A and B are shown apart, each in its own frame.
Chain A
């Protein structure tokens, strides 16, 4: 049994015009020590999915269905108090996107680390907690004396390291890393990612890496789940996702990021925007943007299909892998005017064509 087992999870937001189905029937498992990437554009629902694991969402959101089993504990059934005391931070912690804003600006960084340690560990004295914070700073390459500095006195990279120290201070079993490096410049990005990976291996914790950046997941993750429209549309080990994905959305995402092995590769972005998740219709949610959409795609929601080794894909045409991969690599395929539902926008008859 996996450390974390999410089954058919549905997290909806109440909006004025209905339910926003931010996470709509997702199943995902994470093993001990494993790193799973959640990739998708912003608005795909990847962050809601991750935060659902610790039920960290606004008051208008709700887990309406499904199960989150963490090491034998059903998280959806815990009271708020149990969740706070037993799960949050001590078992599952997180590293936010913008570390600079992740600390309360009016307290020193050290005191905030001490605060969380002492809340979760009744027997730890303030002195011991401070000592641990200093040790963590040292291990993460920050001068331990800086625990008495305020967040605004830190540089972006240093704040991110301090945030990692905060995330690790209770040795959690899972770390949710939400775009942990996007706010940083490229040189620092790699170093921070390395640091995260290193510490993660050291305390043998699992990690869920949330990002829109294919190159980040390809370097750091064991498995990658591609999220679109509130669903995991494709999941497989990192190599499969990078080398031979089957879902058109994955193919599109891959196009949008530079390939280390092929420097001259054109970057192609997927036209259009993520779908509105308020009471979506039947049919594949990617169909409005998918260059390969057929009539069936618009009518029938694709079911997940297993292509071996845990490679699951939700696409009617996933078995045409060679054709899809070949076509998806061409720039023309992703031209805006080529896609969209044919019968919705009848082609205009022009005389010179």
Chain B
């Protein structure tokens, strides 16, 4: 089906894109891979007279090393580009693997990380692991630049802290501490994940620290901080089972809803299973 008519603008600079947005206001939206936007426009759920294509702004699709082991991912990088990027594969293999498992090959080739985060469809993968990795969103508008944590960026279903005139330019992954492992596991019967769990294990002098986030089960990714507390000081030989049990206990307290992907009980169960599997991968 054809979307309603619009004009397509293709600025080559960030300033150009911001000025177009300031000029057209509510009649305009940014356009990246279009994998969410065009479907919503075809279905007449969204309607804009002006699409501002960000893909001609080359710098927004670059992936750079940032300090020792950190990386800066341009928001226009596609899931496919991220999954093949040598820096991501070397420093965040768990995130490269996640990107390789988003959707299908065509959506990975067109869809961008920035579009995924800005659309904030809860049944998504990247935000969950990005929260666990303390990733940060870099935003720019005519008023200036700001940086916020991804955990503060995603506010809820289709809702983010991004203001209308702001462009998400980069996602910054701070370096993982030496010896730390980050793993993401997801499960779904439909196109998008029913549940996804990110686990980060960081060695410390006092014993390893485990951080666990669950996503797709609620309107935004949630941290299972009680699990972190409960498994403090537990030896690796016993920790896996503890993580499974404690994830189940914490998941009971979370606001999780029934939806087309499954009942809340089922999703709580998935969280504990996926947490166990991801924790096992961290130790393997």
Q: Do A and B come from one complex?
A: no
- Taking beta carbons and an 8 Å cutoff, which residues of B are in contact with A? none
- Taking beta carbons and an 8 Å cutoff, which residues of A are in contact with B? none
